[in-house]
Structure 1
Amino acid sequence: MASKRPMTLMMISAGAERVHMALMTGATAAAMGRPVTFFFSKAAVRFVVKAGWAAMQTSEGEPAPEMDAALDARGVADTEVLLDGIAALNVRFVVCDSALREYDIDPTTLIARPQVEVGGLAEIIEKGEGGDWLTF
């Protein structure tokens, strides 16, 4: 059986709806057997910090937890459900080492599930070669 092309999701936005859509996309692709890597850089690094999601909001100003509650009420997977699925599917979460410095984030404050690796853009480009790239 031929191996499936990798999918790399470049996360640069701190918009809650963008992060949620990226999580849905990555979880779906991983469930279909594709190797998936999320690369968090720029303002999106806030998502992988403990309690980061709770501080985020949509482009219309709705707090991320309220967006999640509305999604859950409508039967749409919320962020917690997606993160649980992603962790179980062995999806890679990589945070940009430069973005951690740019936003003065201590790597010890990163979420533990899914596990977050600290890495650089060159490695992401190399491992994503021949695959699909999406930017959120």
Structure 2
Amino acid sequence: MPAKRPMTLIMISSAAERIHMALMTGATAAAMGRPVTFFFSKSAVRFLTRAGWQAMQTSDGEPAPEMDAALEARGVADSAVLLDGIAALNVRFVACDSALREHDIDPGTLITRPHVEIGGLAEVIEKGEGGDWLTF
């Protein structure tokens, strides 16, 4: 059986609903056996900090934790459930080294589950060759 095409999700928005949709997409693709890479850049890199999700909002101004609570109440996987699932799958999380500098984020403040690599766009592009690309 041929190898499944990789999926690369480029995260540039810090809008909570966009990050949630990307997590759902990546978790689903990984569960289907596709190699998945999340590349967090621009303001989305804040999501990877330990307190990042708590400070995020939807594009309508709803705090991310409230969005999660509403999703959970409706039986939809919230961000914590999705991150747990992603951590159990073979998914790469890459924090853009330039975005960390742009937003003055200390790599020591990044989440540890799932593991976060620090890298650049060139390496992500190279490894995603021949696959699908989505931007959130």
Aligned-partner residue type, residue 69 of structure 1: A
Gaps of 5+ in 1: none
Q: CA-to-partner distance for each residue in 1:94-116, whole Å, 9 max, x for gaps?
A: 00000000000000000000000
Where has structure 1 moved over 3 Å in runs of 4 or more? none
Determine whether 1:109 maps to 2:105: no
Shift of 1:90: 1.7
Aligned length: 136
Task: Tell me which residue corresponds to 1:57.
Answer: 57
**TM-score by structure 1 length?**
0.99
Task: Tell me which residue corresponds to 2:70.
Answer: 70
The Cα RMSD (Å) is 0.3
Determine whether 1:34 maps to 2:21: no
Task: Tell me which residue corresponds to 1:89.
Answer: 89
Shift of 1:51: 1.0
Aligned-partner residue type, residue 80 of structure 2: E
Instruction: Report the Cα distance in structure 1 between the residues aligned to 2:64 and 2:21, rounded to whole angstroms.
Output: 13
Task: Tell me which residue corresponds to 2:125.
Answer: 125
Aligned-partner residue type, residue 6 of structure 2: P
Gaps of 5+ in 2: none
Instruction: Report the Cα distance in structure 2 between the residues aligned to 1:129 and 1:95, rounded to whole angstroms.
Output: 19
Task: Tell me which residue corresponds to 2:22.
Answer: 22
